[in-house]
Amino acid sequence: LRNGKVTPSVGFGLGTAWYKASGEKGNALQESLKAALECGYTHIDNAEMYQNESLVGPVLEEWLEAEEEDGETDRKSKEERKQKRRERLFIVSKVDNKSRDPTLLRTAFLTSLRELRLDYLDLYLIHSPFNLPDGVTLPMVWEEMEKLVDEGLVRSIGVSNFRICDLELILSSPNLRHAPVVNQCEVHAQLLDLDLLSYCQSKKILLTSYGGLGPLRSFSSNDAFLNVLSSIASKYNSDTGLILQSWLLHQGVGVITTSSKPSRMQQSLTAPSLSLSSSDLSLLTSAGRKRWLRKFWTDEMANYDKSYRSRYDLT
């Protein structure tokens, strides 16, 4: 990241599939997170909006307090071991839209921190730039985010679902002290905003994808894009989902994924080691550019998408 911190390129997300998890679904969330940690995930992505951080905290605490094979048992070694294990994790949360009021943000952050049972977060994001409270501007919200960094409560701060115009409001602030290091957005092979990607890269902001497997859930089996994707997957003796994730990483985009199946979790962790040829990358990119498909924040992004489609002649 631009501030020198390191984030794993593939993260495990606790969002859409686990939204408002409780009861059996809550138990499934906890078991899936345990499995993800056992598989080797260290980047865990959450948010106030998901309303499940109180379920995530006990799992993180259990993992942090697990004994290593060295068998050390005295209090000092336990604390040192916990601290060492904490350094291996990269925990992310996001401030909900309703908490972006400068008078509420700090309380919302501390609530997430308490529910996650942590002393600090590695990354804290503004979940969206849309529908700000009356009288509140993005620079005002960002100033409160910066204070959390100054206090050592979070190591890095960033944004989510931000367009270039939103990022510019923050980056142009005369009092900017900590620039955003991440912009987490819906990105996949049929929703690659080249303007946004180029802008983020020029500002040393890591564009990170959620919904990266969206194309697999959007089309029938005879869809032209899916046919191209399946052909490439066969060539590499690979899975179509893994090809999509590898494609994202080749664009310089981070990946947030999720699953309840350990086999799928392990598979996604191999995406960084799957090397696709430049010709196959271009083929997939070209096939993806023929349609523009968004699943999340569709109303808020409607005008932007209409303009983008028109500018690049997309359907």
Asked whether 255 and 212 are in contact (CB, 8 A), the reply is yes
Catalytic residue among 19, 41, 50, 312: 50
Residues 6 or more apart in contact with residue 272 via CB below 8 angstroms: 9, 10, 246, 249
Rounded CA-CA distance 34/245 in Å is 22
Q: Is residue 308 annotated as part of the catalytic site, yes or no? A: no
Residues 6 or more apart in contact with residue 47 via CB below 8 angstroms: 14, 15, 93, 94, 96, 125, 127
Residues 6 or more apart in contact with residue 71 via CB below 8 angstroms: none
Q: How many residues belong to the chain?
A: 315
**Quick one: 203 exposed, middle or buried, by C-beta within 10 A (0-12, 13-18, 19+)?**
middle
Q: How many CA atoms lie within 13 A of 106 on its CB side?
A: 13
Q: Is 249 helix (H, G, I), strand (E, B) or coil?
A: helix
Asked whether 187 and 163 are in contact (CB, 8 A), the reply is no
Q: Return the closest-CA partner of residue 95 out of 122, 128, 60, 121.
A: 128
**Catalytic residue numbers?**
50
